[in-house]
Structure formats: C-alpha cells, structure tokens
Amino acid sequence: MLSNITIGQYFPGNSILHRLDPRVKVLLLFFFLIEIFLFSNAVAYGIFSAVAFALMLLSGIPLGMLLRSLKPLWWIILFTFVIHLFSNPGTPIAKFWWFTLTWEGIRMGCFISLRLVLLILMSSLLTFTTSPLKLTDALESLLSPFRRFGLPAHELAMMMTIALRFIPTLIEETDKIMKAQQSRGADFTTGNVMKRLRNMVPILVPLFLSAFRRADELAMAMEARCYRGGVGRTQMKSLKTGGVDYLAIAGFVLLTVSLLGIKVLA
C-alpha cells in the first residue's frame, strides 16, 4: 500500500525543456513569476498565457496531467475570484444584499485567477521536466554564492540527496514494521482519531530507532569514502549551460523587453 509513492512529479522525457540547464530553468521561472506580478495589462496577460501554453506543448507532457496539478488549488482560485468580483468599487452591474458586482470586479477577478493559474502551471512545468536530483544540484549551485554569508549550500543539497535516497527505503521499512505489528494483533484501522494516533506509536518508535542506526552507519560509509564536506569536492555531472540555454535566456529577454515596450506605449 505504501510502495507506489513517487517523489515529486517528474515526468521523464527529452524535450527542450527537459534538456535545459536546471539552474537556468529555476532562474527564468523566478523572473517570469515576478513579471507576472509586475505587468498587469490585458496584452501582457495574453502574452503570458500564450507563452505558458507554448511551453506546455513544448514539454511533451500530456496537457491533462499538467492541468491536474491545478486540482488541489481549484477552490482557492475560485474563492479568490469570487472575493474579487464583489470587493472592487466601480460600475455596478448587480446587487446581492450588500454585495455589489462590478465590471472592475470581474476584470480584477479574471486577472487574479489567471495569475494564480499561470503561477501554478509554470511552477509545475519546472517540477515536471526536472528530476528532483537535478533540482537539488541546481539549488546547490544557485545558493553557493551565499556561502560567504554562512549559508550551508552544499550541506543542504547533500541532505536533500540523502533524503531522496532514503525515502523509499524508509517507506518499505514502515510497511514491514506495520505488517509485523499487525501480525501480532495491532489494529491501525479502527477507532477514533486519538486511538489511531496512539496506535501509531509502536510503528514510530522502531522506525526512528532504525533511522538513527542507518544514519550512523551511513555517516561511517561516507567517511570511509573520503567525504569531508563540500570543500575540494568536484561533481561528475557538473551542470553545463549550452546553446539551448542561451536561446531560452534570449527568448526571455525579448519577452521582457516587449512587455516593457507595451507598458511604456500604453
């Protein structure tokens, strides 16, 4: 029952988006999201939507799958939309009790909802096309300039890598412990919430014990393989910024410049 958990939502493929340097992807996404908030005219939103749609097609990921990532946030989007409908002063259209529906409200509601949808779609596009490991490498590399301010970039990345490595192992172990306890009469499925939580204790105690033991042994194995922290360490798969990446950056700059142009002209 616990065995079919996947971490993240990486969808393997070989599209241009998959091949981009993850650092470039993270940075471009970051700036793109900022721009979504900076430019709020209709033309800009049209362009954003077009870009997002083009990238979704480019990624080779089934559209349905991408749209499904909106599902958990569907209610928030709807809620935001409704709030904006009634909370903007302007030309009134209709009145319910003391709520006034305005044209400005509809406009604003559409913008804000579109903004949220774009935010979610673009972010999931990143996690769909980048494996968690590459994402970790990218974060390490992007955070490394902050090392001089005491940010342990390498250690954070190493922690994430180890977590990714051990999540399946620990899930397997949890499964095993649960079965062992169940075979001796433990009951995890009946009773109220409090009772069920209390019944989890006999799972958590051995799980934690074994996790600590694993950590101890792993530390020893790492030391035996000359691990001394990030200093003087190289990487086999060093991230490379290539032609596709410069193309993407150029495209993004073009987008920004044209958005600025539209804003100045309008």
Q: In the window 213-232, what residues touch another protein (CB under 8 A)?
A: 213-214, 217-218, 220-228, 232
CA distances from 210 to 147, 198, 203 (A): 33, 20, 11
Q: How far is the CB of 227 from another protein (least distance, A)?
A: 5
Q: Which is nearer to another protein, 195 or 233 (CB)?
A: 233
* Smallest separation, CB 152 to another protein (Å): 17
Closer to another protein by Cβ: residue 187 or 217: 217
CB of 137 to another protein, least distance (A): 10
CB of 174 to another protein, least distance (A): 13
- Minimum Å distance from CB 209 to another protein? 14
What minimum distance in Å lies between the beta carbon of 168 and another protein?
4
- Binders in 163-222 for another protein, by CB under 8 A: 164-165, 168-169, 172, 213-214, 217-218, 220-222
Residue 261, Cβ density class (10 Å: 0-12 exposed, 13-18 middle, ≥19 buried): exposed
# of chain residues touching another protein (CB under 8 A): 29
Q: What are phi and psi of 174, to 5 degrees?
A: -55, -45
Q: Which of 236, 264, 265, 266 binds another protein (CB under 8 A)?
A: 236
- What distance in Å separates the CA atoms of residue 195 and residue 189, rounded to the nearest whole number? 10
For another protein, which is the closer residue by CB, 183 or 234?
234
Map residues 117-136 to x or -, x wherever contact with another protein holds by CB under 8 A.
---------------xx---
Give me the residues that bind another protein (CB under 8 A), please.
Answer: 132-133, 161-162, 164-165, 168-169, 172, 213-214, 217-218, 220-228, 232-238
